[in-house]
Amino acid sequence: MKEKTEGQKIFDQLSYKKKNVYEEADASRIQEIYEYAEGYKAFLDEAKTEREATEAAIAMAERAGYKSYRLGESLQVGDKRYLNNRDRSLILFSIGEEPLAENGIRILASHIDSPRLDLKQIPLYEEAGMAFFKTHYYGGVKKYQWTAIPLALHGVMVKANGESVKVSIGEDASDPIFYINDLLPHLGAKQGAEPLSSAIPGETLNILVGGLPYADKEVSDKIKLSVLSLLNEKYGVTEEDFLSAELTLVPAFKARDIGFDRALIGAYGHDDRVCSYPALTALFAAKDTKHTAIVVLADKEEIGSVGVSGMRSDLLMDLIDEICAAKCAKPSVVRSRSVCLSADVTAAFDPNFSDVYEKRNSAMISCGTCMSKYTGARGKSGTSDATAELVGFVRSIFADHGVIWQTAELGRVDAGGGGTVAQYIANHNIDTVDIGVPVISMHAPYEVVSKADVYSTHEAFVAFLK
Ligand code: MN
Ligand code: MN
């Protein structure tokens, strides 16, 4: 190799360049990255809704020795517990021996809800030889992406007697799937001239659910009746039970490797299970940590973090109060010394749409987990903007543990933007910064991430909790 010139040496010393995780890895490390992805893909297929993610996370937690906790129960050092919030969100925590008033709590906060189509409360009707469900979309979806793809029905129905029935149809290869009709191009000239945002109105996102009339000439709405009788046979429910139900349509696709080299993963709901899963695996890996650690898997992030299961609820602070009481520490002091990584996805730079990105400050796929000092839109509106000191603190942890990471903001200034749960935690005087996996086609029915970035996120969280 040719000796480097003085200028080259100084350039290496002084300048910053992102690293590609795959480029830095040898064959055995790439194998490690790919193996980790297998567990993540299994989690994705098992957990397509926040309720299923909560259930899957509880199963993982119990295997790792975590036990259930309800507010008000007593706690002590060494406890590893999980708080199931109405089956829709989950907070896991382990109480370390370190003094809380000195070092605070290490918090990882991610979310487990994803954009999708929810059923209306009176969804079922028939028209022109077909039965349909009415829907109301949840979160930021591009409506045209949801037509003419296979959909699965997930959720719960609560019967008049209070019994809750779990529904899941469309995941097993032998199950039927559901579908939203789209217009044939032969008659689509007018639709094709519409802007993407209005070409598919929300009220046309009706789910095709049947076509076989009930065998009785005397009844009207025969197809609707045959759907109701099948649902009654399988789940013991009536049409009125839809009134107290949470039913949702999600893409019926499984998580699959993408590309000849299998470097990437395609799946529904990477946002934000791709941060939730590493948060869980990092927590379970942090066996000998002295820190008190909390992992939040929140609901309702996609619609503003509102409500009893969203990040704006008091629950996390109530739990911190309980943990502080167990360790005789003052909650306000503990919060002021705590650090939170708000674990959510960011937009990966996409060369097909390069005009909405500013390349130098964009997340590049496979360059590791991405810390965003701030998010927001229109002049940083809606961001908590982490302090330089906090970014420096987290950066030094990553440097100590050899974590490959990058920094970015979501898109070009004035191109749009986005928000996360960071501000709702920071408002409680907890230092918080965003970090997470760069995603291609975010919020599409099938999103793409790099296995390298998923693993880098796991490694970053392990370092943070150590
Ligand atoms: Mn998200
Ligand atoms: Mn999102």
pLDDT in tens, 190-207: 999 999 999 999 999 999
Ligand number nearest to the C-alpha of 443:
2
Nearest 10 degrees: CA dihedral of 440, 441, 443, 448?
A: -50
* Residue percentage of the chain with pLDDT more than 90: 95
Can you give the pLDDT at residue 183?
Answer: 96
Which of the four CATH numbers 3.40.50.880, 3.40.50.2300, 2.40.50.100, 3.40.630.10 does domain 16-114+268-465 have?
Answer: 3.40.630.10
Beta strands in 52-163 (DSSP E): 67-68, 80-85, 89-94, 105-111, 116-127, 130-138, 151-158
- What spacing in Å lies between the alpha carbon of 271 and ligand 2's midpoint? 6
Given a contact cutoff of 8 angstroms between Cβ atoms, the answer to whether 143 and 273 are in contact is: no
Q: Which ligand is nearest to the CA of 273?
A: 1
- What pLDDT, on the 0 to 100 scale, is given for residue 287? 86
Domains 16-114+268-465 and 116-251 share a fold: no
pLDDT at 373 over 80: yes
The ligand minimizing its distance to the Cα of 139 is 2
What spacing in Å lies between the alpha carbon of 345 and ligand 1's midpoint?
A: 5
Query: For 206, which DSSP code?
Result: P
* Dihedral of alpha carbons 278, 280, 281, 286, sign: positive
Distance from the CA of 171 to the center of ligand 2, in angstroms? 23
Q: How far is the CA of 326 from the centre of ligand 1 (A)?
A: 32
At residue 288 the predicted structure's pLDDT band, cuts being 50, 70 and 90, is: confident
pTM (2 decimals)? 0.97
**Assign residue 376 a region: left if phi > 0, alpha if psi is -120 to 50, beta otherwise?**
left
Q: Band of the pLDDT at 88, cuts 50, 70, 90?
A: very high
Instruction: For residue 48, give every residue at least 6 positions away whose Cβ sits within 8 Å of its Cβ, in sequence order, or none.
Output: 114, 152, 154, 171, 250, 268, 269
343 CA from centroid of ligand 1 (Å) = 8
Q: Which residues, including other chains, have CB under 8 Å from residue 2's CB and lie 6 or more apart? A: none
443 CA → ligand 2 middle, Å: 6
Ligand 2 centroid, distance to 140 Cα (angstroms)? 7
Closest CA to 251 of 165, 178, 173: 178
- Ligand 2 centroid to residue 272 C-alpha, Å: 7
All residues with CB under 5 Å from ion ligand 2: 271
Task: Name the closest ligand to CA 298.
Answer: 1
1 has a pLDDT exceeding 80: no
CA of 65 to the centre of ligand 1 (A): 28
Ligand 2 mean position, distance from CA 380 (Å): 18
Boundaries of every domain in the chain: 16-114+268-465, 116-251
The per-residue pLDDT for 351 is 97
Ligand showing the shortest atom-to-Cα distance for residue 299: 1
CATH code, 116-251? 2.30.250.10
Q: Is the pLDDT of residue 290 over 90?
A: yes
| Cα of 418 from ligand 1 centre, angstroms | 9
Q: Higher confidence at residue 37 or residue 379? A: 37
pLDDT per residue as tens digits for the range 309-357: 999 999 999 999 999 999 999 999 999 999 999 999 999 999 999 999 9
Strand partners of residue 93: 81, 294
**What distance in angstroms lies between residue 148's CA and the mean position of ligand 1's atoms?**
25
pLDDT of residue 444: 98
pLDDT on residue 418: 87
Residue range 214-254, pLDDT digits in tens: 999 999 999 999 999 999 999 999 999 999 999 999 999 99
**Residue showing tokens 């503990």:** 334
Mean of all residue pLDDT scores within the chain: 97
Work out the average pLDDT over 377-404: 95
Distance 402 CA to ligand 2 centre (A): 29
User: What is the model's pLDDT at position 446?
Assistant: 98
Mean pLDDT of 121-136: 98
| pLDDT at residue 417 greater than cutoff 90 | no
pLDDT in tens, 254-281: 999 999 999 999 999 999 999 999 999 9
Shortest-distance ligand to the CA of residue 110: 1
Nearest listed ligand to the Cα of residue 447: 2
Q: Give SS3 for 271.
A: helix
pLDDT over 70, % of the chain? 100
pLDDT exceeds cutoff 90 at 425: yes
Q: Are 365 and 431 in contact (CB under 8 A)?
A: no
Using the mean position of ligand 1's atoms as its centre, give its distance from the Cα of residue 46 in Å.
19
- 440 CA to middle of ligand 1, Å? 13
- What's the rounded mean pLDDT across residues 364-370? 98
- pLDDT tens track for 401-412: 999 999 999 999
Distance (Å) from CA 163 to ligand 2 centroid: 32
Which ligand sits closest to the CA of 138? Answer: 2
Compute CA 393 distance to the chain's CA centroid, rounded to the nearest angstrom.
Answer: 26
* Higher per-residue pLDDT: 382 or 87: 87
Rounded distance between C-alpha atoms, residue 138 and residue 275, angstroms:
20
Cα 113 to averaged position of ligand 2 atoms, centre (Å): 8
Return the residue matching tokens 């970015």: 408
Q: Which two tokens stand for residue 438?
A: 């760069």
The rounded distance, in Å, linking the Cα atoms of 216 and 219 is: 6
What band does 308 get if pLDDT is binned at 50, 70 and 90? very high
- Closest by CA to 89, choosing from 250, 307, 275, is 307
With b for 16 or more beta-carbon neighbours within 10 A and e for fewer, the 67-81 pattern comes to: eebeeeeebeeebbb
d(CA 409, CA 268) in angstroms, rounded, equals 23
Question: How many CA within 13 A on the CB side of residue 267?
Answer: 28
- Return the DSSP state at 349: P
How would residue 455 be classed by pLDDT, with cut points 50, 70 and 90?
Answer: very high
Among 50-59, 297-306, 376-385, which stretch is predicted with the lowest mean pLDDT? Answer: 376-385
pLDDT of residue 382: 87
